[in-house]
Each structure stands twice: as structure tokens, then as C-alpha cells.
Structure 1
Amino acid sequence: MTIEVREIAVPAAYDDGSPEWATFADMVEVRNAVMRHLWDGDATHDITTREAYGTASSQEDERIVYLGGWLDGVLVARGYVELSRHEALHIAGVDVLVVPEARRRGVGTAVWREIERILDADGRTTVQAWVDHRPAGGPALDAPTGFGSVPRDAAEVRFLLGLGFRLEQIERMSELRLDEARDALERLREEARAHAHGYAVRTWAGRTPPELLDDLAVLHQRMSTDAPAAGLEHEEEVWDAGRVERVEDVEERRGRQMLRAVAIHEATGHVVAFTTLVVASPERPVYQHDTLVHAEHRGHRLGMLVKVANLLALADRIPLGARVHTWNAEENRPMLGVNEALGFRAIGYEGAWQLVRDGAR
């Protein structure tokens, strides 16, 4: 048995027929095979090579290193290291995925050892991983927040604990069946409007109107510190209009469309709440990403108002069968309460894991 781990190059162009492209595409399939196994064969959690290449070729704000693990010449594992270029320069995000049939043979550990070399070279002493977990019977590992747990005997949990990671937080993955929720969304919109005097809602698809970029950047920066982080180390991110536009550039390269809804404080003209949906295709789940209400404007049901507005805009685009997925910290009861009222129901959990290393060698 031979194990080889090496960096996977980002191809010079999308689907350019090069050997680098063939390896990159194989890496995407390894990722998808692991996710299909986790989700009992459900392929809607797959990503396309276009989506993966859009991420890999857009590294202005983060440097991403991809690793492959080969067992007897066959690619069976993918490693991923994300290194911020602007803030939190001691923190790295990581991921290790091994196809089920190649597990417990040392490949994942070999990939992790190469990740450690990259962390050492870049001086990263805190490592974080966000890992999907499915509910299961048997012993549970509770999050230190007091909210949520993961199955202690799951392969990924044993792997992380063996490397010294600590479970810090649980995020609930929830799903909304949009066509079943349409009537409730209409009712909730009217109820939220009754509490939101002095605020206007604006929605759009695609690029953010230029006059709203600066305000949206302010809210994204607040999101980096306002969202519950439990024991995870983090630093305030620095956002400006250019960073908002770069996020939108990446989604376009991935072949996805962004839908946004914002609440505007009519007295000042400033954007004080926002939410984002990302649409890959009508057949795939839609992702509900960040939602934030500025602290000075809470208590007016603006979170509900912008989420409902965006979901109804989505319903006009995909009238039948759309599923929406979102993630929230289990201790974030205000936002979970909003999502539950909208009709979201838990389908899985994501563990936020952290390893504080002794120091880069």
C-alpha cells in the first residue's frame, strides 16, 4: 500500500483540457462522493466544477491551498487550507475529506500532516474546521455553549478528537420548502410591516446598486463580530465597497446568482439590515447566507421583514419545488426563532471545531 500527498494546482483556465484540470475535477468528485455518502445518496449537496473553480481562481482576500491524497495511485482524499490575507493572520480554516472505502488506512492522517507543514510555514497557530454531522443514536458530545451535540462515535468526530480539536459550537442546518411556505410568508410580511414604521425594503438580483455598497460593507464588517462565535477565535474583518464587489465577482464566477433584501432607515437613508440568498440552479438547494440587523435598529422585526421579502422574491423566480438551506448557531435563539416562524426545520448540524497549536515550528 502506498500513500502520496501533494498540492493540487489551480488550472490556468476553466475546463482547459490540461492534466491539472483533470486532477482538479477528480478532486471535486472526491468532495462530492463524501457528501453524498453523508447525506444518504442525496446529490443535491454536490458542487459543480464551475463552482469549485470559481472559488479556486478567486483568491484576493483568502489564499486557498488544495491537497490531494492518493492511495495506490488513486485520488481518494482532499485537503483544504484557507488563509486570510487581511485579518486573523494566526488563524487557518481547514478541511480533510476521505472517500468511505479508503478510510482507516492512514490517508486522512497523511493529508493532515501536510496541512500542518503549510500551517507552520505560514505561522498559523489556531486552526478551525466546520464539519457536517448527521443525527445518530448512541453517545453524544455536547457543545460547551450548552446548545447542541454531535455523535461521539462518528468517524469524523473520532478523527478530529484524535488530532486534538475541541468542539466549540453547533450550527443548525435548516431547510425550508418554499412552495409550502408561501401563504405563511405573505402573512408574516404584513405582520412585520406593522412593526417597521420608518423603514423601506428594497430587493434586487445580481450586483449591488453602487449607492448601497458602502452601507452594505459596514453591515458585513459588523457581521464578523456580531454573530455568535462561542469559543472560536476571531477578529473583526475590514470591509469596504470593493470587498463587497469581490464577493459578488466570486459568485458570478461560480455561476451563481445573489438575491439581496435590505431595510433602509427612511430618516437617514442608510441600509440598516440585510440578508442574502445564493441561487445555483432551480434543481439545487438555495443557500440563505448572512442576515444582520444593525444593533441600533433592532426591535422592529427587520430581520423577519428582509428575510420574507427575499424569500418571496425567490418564490417569484422559482415558483415550485425550491428548497432553501441555512445555518445558525444553536445558541442564536433570536435568529432561529425567526427561521422557525418562516417554516425552516432542522435537517442536520455543523460542528465548529478548533485546535490551538503550541506554535508554528
Structure 2
Amino acid sequence: MTASRVVQRLTVADVEPESWELSAPVGYRVERWIGATPEHLLVSVASTRRAIHDAPDTARDPEWTPELVRAAEAEDLAAGVEHRVVVAVEEATGLVVAFTDVQLYPDDFEHTVWHDTVVAPRHRARGLARFVKAHMLRWLLTDRPELERIDTGTAASNFPMIRVNERLGFVTAREVVVVSRSV
């Protein structure tokens, strides 16, 4: 199997933070937390995270369940990793429809790697990915002003997410090709 990925980097000093001042799209609100997902959002977080399988080259992503979300949170906690999450909640239903997360490691104050960003299929093309990522950026830099750069990766064919990242100030640092085979 071969997959082509784009690695993008945001260098904080090169971006105007005002570009991250976005209002919630009509009908949505933001929620955020560090660590454990609030119980009332757990099922819809797992459901929304499963939507990442729609993105190109995501075969290795797990089949998210509430139990798997809790297990991943416990693993981060045990490792001393600060797991930050920002979600968009649909006002009409109270369900999480967009999700993004970042893990902050205890010994790396100047750099982090952005993990997943996913929007439920019915809610795509409404600016929710950019909205939750912009909210995360403002939150991170308010609490971690020493943060200098953030890296993220996505499938080279995932043009919508690449564009979202570019609009937030990420630039393509490199493209990598991953080759795997069974032995």
C-alpha cells in the first residue's frame, strides 16, 4: 500500500492571530476541554470521529467508540500528555458535528503536532473545520505563548483540509510517501 501525505507547518511568528478570530457558523456553538470528554458529549464525539474514514488514506484510523475514546484519554493521562479538544456542537440537536484535537507533551513547550480534525458529513462545507481549528489556535497560544510551531499532516489528496490549514497560516513543509506491505 502506498499513501502520499502532506506535512504542513504553522510558524506562529509568521501569522497574524487576527486571522483566527472567527465567529461560530449560524446554528453551532463551540465547546472545549482538556482531558476527558464530558459525559453528555461522549457518544457524539465517538460518532463524529468515525467520520474521518471518509477522508482519503485513513485506513489506519480506529473505529471510534465511546470506550475507545475513554481508553485513548486514559493513555494520554498516564503518559502525562495534555489532550485538548475543541468541538462544534449543533445547537438544534446538541450533537458534536466537528472535532479537532492536539496533544501537548510535557517536555516540548515550543512545538506540537496537530492530530485529527473531522466534520460529520452532513455538516461539511460550512466552515466548521476552520472554525474549530482557529478556536484551538487562539486557546493554545493564550495558554502557551512560548509555542513556536505546530505541524500537521494530511493525505496529499485531501485538498479541502489542506486549504483549511493554509487559510489558518500553515504552509506545506514537505510531502512524504509512505509505503507498507505485509510480510
TM-score computed with the length of structure 2 as normaliser: 0.89
| Pairwise CA distance, 1:305 | 0.5
| Pairwise CA distance, 1:237 | 4.2
Aligned twin of 2:89: 264
1:285 counterpart = 2:120: no
The structure whose RCO (Cα within 8 Å, separation 6+) is larger is: 2
Conservation of the 8 A alpha-carbon contact between 2:141 and 2:147: no
1:169 counterpart = 2:16: no
Paired AA for residue 174 in structure 1 = Q
1:210 counterpart = 2:39: yes
Conservation of the 8 A alpha-carbon contact between 1:256 and 1:278: yes
Conservation of the 8 A alpha-carbon contact between 2:109 and 2:146: no
Paired AA for residue 340 in structure 1 = E
Instruction: Name the SS of the counterpart of 1:355 in structure 2.
Output: coil
Identical-pair percentage? 30
Q: Hey, what's the Cα distance between the residues in 2 that align with 1:268 and 1:309?
A: 21
1:184 counterpart = 2:9: no
Could you say if the C-alpha distance between residues 317 and 236 of structure 1 is closer, same or farther in structure 2, counting changes exceeding 3 Å?
closer
Deviations 1:143-190 (A, max 9, x none): xxxxxxxxxxxxxxxxxxxxxxx6x2211111112344322222xx14
2:125 counterpart (287, 290, 299): 299
Deviations 1:291-348 (A, max 9, x none): 0111101121000110001111101111134311100111111000000111111223
Q: Hey, what's the Cα distance between the residues in 2 that align with 1:206 and 1:297?
A: 25
Alignment of structure 1 residues 118-129 onto 2, 5 Å? none
Instruction: Name the SS of the counterpart of 2:92 in structure 1.
Output: coil
Unaligned runs of 5+ in 1: 1-165
Aligned twin of 2:54: 226
Q: Hey, what's the Cα distance between the residues in 2 that align with 1:220 and 1:174?
A: 21
1:308 counterpart (105, 125, 134): 134
Q: Hey, what's the Cα distance between the residues in 2 that align with 1:207 and 1:214?
A: 13
Conservation of the 8 A alpha-carbon contact between 2:115 and 2:152: yes
1:355 counterpart = 2:164: no
Structure whose alpha-carbon radius of gyration is higher: 1
TM-score computed with the length of structure 1 as normaliser: 0.47
Instruction: Name the SS of the counterpart of 2:180 in structure 1.
Output: strand
Conservation of the 8 A alpha-carbon contact between 1:172 and 1:329: yes
Could you say if the C-alpha distance between residues 251 and 350 of structure 1 is closer, same or farther in structure 2, counting changes exceeding 3 Å?
farther
Conservation of the 8 A alpha-carbon contact between 1:276 and 1:290: yes
